[in-house]
Chains A and B, each alone.
Chain A
Amino acid sequence: EIVMTQSPATLSVSPGERATLSCRASQSVSFNLAWYQQRPGQAPRLLIYGASARATGIPARFSGSGSGTEFTLTISSLQSEDFAIYYCQQSDMWPLTFGGGTKVEIK
């Protein structure tokens, strides 16, 4: 199976600052990469699909980039509601797999 590795595990950022999250695949997943946000006690929410396309209703401060095995989620200016856990997921090959998550916390 394709192993998705996210780094760092925890990212401490001040409100208004930029956050950069990484996701690496153990083999190429082309552009078949999605990012999700999960706030405490809530279900995950789709942020980015196709590596760089924003899902419906997602603010422009969220952006995704990358292809193949290296991907990045950038939050340009962190708002209070952005402090959450972020997961990447590949859909290039069965089984579908998620990364272990990056927790973005308030510095």
Chain B
Amino acid sequence: EVQLLESGGGLVQPGGSLRLSCAASGFTFSNYDMNWVRQAPGKGLEWVSVISSSGGSAVGSTNYADSVKGRFTISRDNSKNTLYLQMNSLRAEDTATYYCAKNMCGGRVASCYRFDQWGQGTLVTVSS
């Protein structure tokens, strides 16, 4: 059974930092691109970031929504089956439940970038 378990959420002051983790099990983690998707309280879904199956720093191995570019960094450790999201310079508008989400297939084509498995989410609240 596929499981994605997020952790690391909490209350942080504006301008602060937080690191989210997502522990994966039940599938070959290193074969799939992984994503973070967030949902502000009472609002819709917003895709945040994606990282390629191998991770790394090569151009095109990560991608970000404009709203978080330059502030958030996605990474992964395939030896630990864990996805991360480092969030810096947090703002009130970053307050949301953050979900990790698995790509449906292992390729790097448009048809793979839908999410067939989701974690239960971790709540990040940015407030003074």
Contacts and interface: CB of A to CB of B under 8 A. Distances in A.
A45 interface: yes
A94 B119 CA distance: 23
A101 B121 CA distance: 19
B44 A96 contact: no
Contacts, number: 65
Residue among B112, B118, B120, B121 facing the most chain A CB atoms (10 A cut-off): B118
Interface residues of B, number: 24
B63 interface: yes
A55 B114 CA distance: 11
Contacts of A34: 114-115
Contacts of B64: 95
Interface stretch (A15-23, A65-73, A84-92): A84-92
A46 to B, nearest CB: 5
Nearest to A34: B114
Contacts of A45: 118
B84 interface: no
Contact of A98 (B45, B50, B110, B116): B45
Contact of A99 (B35, B37, B44, B113): B44
Contact of B114 (A1, A56, A89, A97): A89
B46 interface: yes
Contacts of B119: 43
A97 B46 CA distance: 7
A44 B65 contact: no
For the complex of A and B, list the 4 residue pairs with the smallest distance between their C-beta atoms, beginning with the closest: A91-B113, A34-B114, A43-B118, A96-B47
8 contacts: A30-B110, A44-B99, A46-B115, A49-B114, A97-B47, A98-B44, A98-B47, A100-B44
